[in-house]
Structure formats: structure tokens, C-alpha cells
Amino acid sequence: MLIRKRSTIAVLMVLALSLMICSSAFAADKVIKIGALFPLTGPAAVSGQNCVNSVLAAADVINKANPDINAPLAAKEGLLNGYKIEIVKADHQGKPDVAKSEAERLYNQEKVFAVIGSYNSSATKPASAVAERAKKIFMCGCSSSAALTERDYKYFFRHAPTDAIESKEFVEYIEYLNKEKKAGIKTLGLIYENTEFGKHAAEEAHKAAKHSGLKVVADVPFNNGATNLNSEVQTLKAANPDAVFGAALGGDYSLWVRTMKQVNWLPKIAINYCTGYQNPAVQKELAGDGDYFMGGMGYSPELAKTFMPEAIKIEKKYYTPRSNQPFDSDSIQEGVMLFVLAQAIEKAGSLDTEKVAQILRTEEFPSVMSLSGKVKFEPGGQNVHALSVITQIKDLDYKTVFPLKYQKAEPVFPMTPWDKR
């Protein structure tokens, strides 16, 4: 009796194992593995998880038949006659060294075709260097350090506007306010995290300010994840600049805003790079304290209504159920990069990295989730159609204030003081 029982268990185990082997072998034939390398833990984890959710949403649009969505590859199931995209998640914790080793693991052990990532510019830099050495494709959605596309890499492609583009736009906006609204903005303060991203943003801000005659009176880097930002905000307050450009991610952003409230100081205008400003979850936690700040954005639900109706469909169907919030301008760009990569694979008609990379370098791609509606990469990998607008937040609503073509509301300027809110 016991022997029969044991033999039955053994037969069942063999069957189960064979099924697993068969199914994985079957799956391996028709799957394109793509790595999603983001900070899933650490100070920028919330944003990193949103980025992964955006990539997963894009994969769902490609893998499933979505005739209701008017986007390339949406109507039919999969690509290359039946291939499905499989996303392999990896966590770099916001640390450059971990990003490098995880990129190596993704390419060498997981055998991914390409990697999408990595939010923090400081992590994107070493991870994409791994890709370049291995001659593998690296798709970067929102890392904004201009240095990333100044390396003349052949396999690196970036969607986001760089800090250089955003800095110029911020300064143009200040010039517009000075000219049209008699704003009298003459001095500038910079507060930024002491990382690849923050330092490059500050460098570009210096260049743009010099070009337009703005005087930088405070340059305040800080260590991210700090216990307090008292000295940093005191330094800003003592210099009392008319405008402040900020580059503080996640929790550091809320700490910065709350510390400014604590010392009862605000500049006339505060504009943020790709930071905690763009994250609705961070703004929700800040309640009204985040109001009247501004920032560069490539997406807002309000902008999407007019310029990206298909993005709203994708958001409702596949993104919001995962993230419980709308796309933000960082996360959406990671999904865009999967769409662009999938289109390039489809055009190449094979999984030959060289062919796909060549198409990425030369072709222009329609993109329903980009504000400009299209994507094209110049040598070095920068998207020449990268576009961002300046928004101002009030009651968790991002209103576009500049460029005038996209303007939906007049800015509240200068920012309403803390004691009058």
C-alpha cells in the first residue's frame, strides 16, 4: 500500500516537472525578455515602482489585443507574429554600484534583450555603460542628466528632455514673467541633491542663468535621505533669491517644502526639475503645503485630455489599477520607451540587436504617450522631440502655465505666503 502511494507521488512529481519544463521551453520560444531596472526600495522607491507599473502597462497593451486603443501594436496580440514581452524587474535601490551589477545580471544571466531604466541618472549612467560594453540596447525614459547623452553611446536611447533643455525653458519662463508681468526676478537660488542628477541640473541652471543675466546667489547641494534640511533652507533664506530651482526627489522634496514652511520663507517662484513635485503621491502627503510650486512636466491628466487621449485610455485600463493614481511625467516616459523598442523590433522583423539598434538610430516613431506625439533619437541617443511644459500645482491639480501654446491657467505669482494660505 505504502509502495503504491509512493509510486503515485513519484509519478505525479515527474508529470508536474515535465509539464513545467515543457511549458517553460514553449514559453522561451515566444518570449522577448525586457529588463526593468528601477529603484524599487530606497528614497526614490515610490517613483521607481510607478515606472515599473508604466512599463508593465505598456507590455499589456502590446501583449493583449486592445482594439479600443489607437496606438501602434495595440490592436493585435504581441509582436513579430506571436512574440510576447516579458518584463523582468530589478531593483537598484538608488545606488549606482547596485545598478551596475543588476544590469550585468539582467543581460548575462536573465538574458534580456534590452533594459529599460533607471530613473536616477546616477544609476542610469553605470547601468547603460554595462549595456554599451556588451553592445546591448538600453532604453532610458526619464533620467534627465544631460551628460547621459553626451557620451556618444551607440546603444543608449533617452526619451526625456535633459536638464539643459528644462533649464533653458525655466529661464525663458522667467524672462517672459519679467517682460510681461513685470515680475522683477533678478536672482536665483539652487537647491539640489548631491548626485549625478542634482549636480548636472545645477550646472545647466548656472549656464542658463548666465545666458539670461540672472545672478545665482545661493548654490545649495544636500545629501539625499538627510535627517533635516534646516541648514540648507536657512542658507537659501539668508540669500533670499527671487527664484529657486529645485532638484529634490521623493521624501527630500516634502522635507524641503515643510522646512521652508517652518522658517516661513518662500521665493517669488520655485520651479522643480524631475523631482518629488511631479509625484501625485508626494503632493497628496504634503496636502496644501505643496501648492503654488512649479515644475517641468511631460504629462498631466489635464494635458492628456487635449493632447494625449490614447494615453488616458492606457492609464485607465492598465496603469491606474496597478499604481492607484494617474501617470506622472516620469513614469509615463518609461512606458513610452517600451512602445518605441517594440516598434523597432517589429520593424526589424527579428531579434537582431544590431538591426533593432540601427532602426532606433534612424527612424521616427509615433508615440501616443509623448506630448510631442513622436520620438526620434539623434546621435548619442537624445530624443529630438523631447518636450516638457511648466505646470503649477494647486489642490493636487497640475495646471500648465508655460509655453503659452499649452497654457491652461494664469500662474499664481508670486507664490502665496505661508501665513496667507
Partner 1 sequence: MSNFVQVLIDGILSGLLYALVSAGLSMMWGVMDVINFAHGEFLMVAMYLCYWIGEILGIDPLFSWIAGGIFLFIIGALTYKLIIKNSLGKAAMAPLLATFGLSMLLKNFCMNRFTPNFRLLSGTIMEGKTFEFAGAIVSVPQLVTAIFSLAVLLSVYWLIKKTRVGWAIQATAMDKEAAELMGIDTENIYLLVFGIGGACVGVAGGLMTTYLAVHPEVGGLFSLIAFVVVALGGFGSIPGALFAALLIGLVESFAGFYIAAVVKYVAVFAIYLVVILIRPKGLFGW
Letters for 390-419 (x = contact with partner 1 by CB under 8 A, - = none) are ----------------------------x-
Backbone φ and ψ of 196, nearest 5°: -50, -50
Q: For residue 129, what is the DSSP state?
A: H
For the chain, give the number of residues: 421
* Least distance in angstroms from the C-beta of 287 to partner 1: 4
* Least distance in angstroms from the C-beta of 86 to partner 1: 24
| Residue 281 touches partner 1, criterion: CB under 8 A | yes
Positions 204 through 263 that interact with partner 1 (CB under 8 A): 220-223, 225-228, 230-232, 234-235, 238, 250-251, 254-255, 258, 261-263
Binding window for partner 1 (CB under 8 A); candidates: 34-42, 59-67, 156-164, 406-414:
34-42
Q: Which CB, 151 or 261, lies closer to partner 1?
A: 261
Angle separating helix axes 196-212 and 163-180, nearest 10 degrees = 40
> How far, in Å, are 14, 22, 420 from residue 11 at the CA level?
5, 16, 76
Distance CA 8, CA 5 (A): 5
Hey, is 10 helix, strand or coil? Answer: helix
SS (H, E, C) 68-92: CCCCCCCCCCCECCCEEEEEEEEEC
Positions 40 through 69 that interact with partner 1 (CB under 8 A): 40-43, 45-46, 49
* Least distance in angstroms from the C-beta of 206 to partner 1: 16
Q: Which CB, 57 or 131, lies closer to partner 1?
A: 57
| Residue 350 touches partner 1, criterion: CB under 8 A | no
Joined grid coordinates for residue 335: 512606458
Distance CA 392, CA 142 (A): 20
* Least distance in angstroms from the C-beta of 251 to partner 1: 4
Q: How far is CA 200 from the centre of its chain?
A: 16
Number of residues near partner 1 (by CB under 8 A): 38
Rounded to a whole number of angstroms, the CA Rg of the chain reads 23
Binding window for partner 1 (CB under 8 A); candidates: 37-45, 108-116, 369-377, 409-417:
37-45
Distance CA 146, CA 199 (A): 11
Hey, is 158 helix, strand or coil? Answer: strand
Q: Which CB, 212 or 320, lies closer to partner 1?
A: 320
What DSSP letter does each residue of 255-304 carry, written as one string?
HHHHHHHHTT---SEEEESSSGGG-HHHHHHHGGGGTT-EEEES--HHHH
* Least distance in angstroms from the C-beta of 234 to partner 1: 5
Q: Which CB, 79 or 190, lies closer to partner 1?
A: 190
Binding window for partner 1 (CB under 8 A); candidates: 72-80, 278-286, 345-353, 361-369:
278-286
Positions 300 through 329 that interact with partner 1 (CB under 8 A): none
Give the helix/strand (H/E) hosting 55.
helix 45-63
Positions 167 through 196 that interact with partner 1 (CB under 8 A): 194
Distance CA 345, CA 240 (A): 52
Distance CA 310, CA 344 (A): 20
* Least distance in angstroms from the C-beta of 101 to partner 1: 19
* Least distance in angstroms from the C-beta of 403 to partner 1: 31
Among 390, 383, 369, smallest CA distance to 308 is for: 369
Q: Which CB, 102 or 169, lies closer to partner 1?
A: 102
* Least distance in angstroms from the C-beta of 40 to partner 1: 8
Among 297, 373, 389, 304, smallest CA distance to 336 is for: 373
* Least distance in angstroms from the C-beta of 338 to partner 1: 23
* Least distance in angstroms from the C-beta of 281 to partner 1: 6
Backbone φ and ψ of 343, nearest 5°: -65, -40
Q: Which CB, 198 or 296, lies closer to partner 1?
A: 198
Q: Which CB, 31 or 217, lies closer to partner 1?
A: 217
Note the residues at the interface with partner 1 (CB under 8 A): 40-43, 45-46, 49, 194, 220-223, 225-228, 230-232, 234-235, 238, 250-251, 254-255, 258, 261-264, 281-282, 285-287, 289, 418
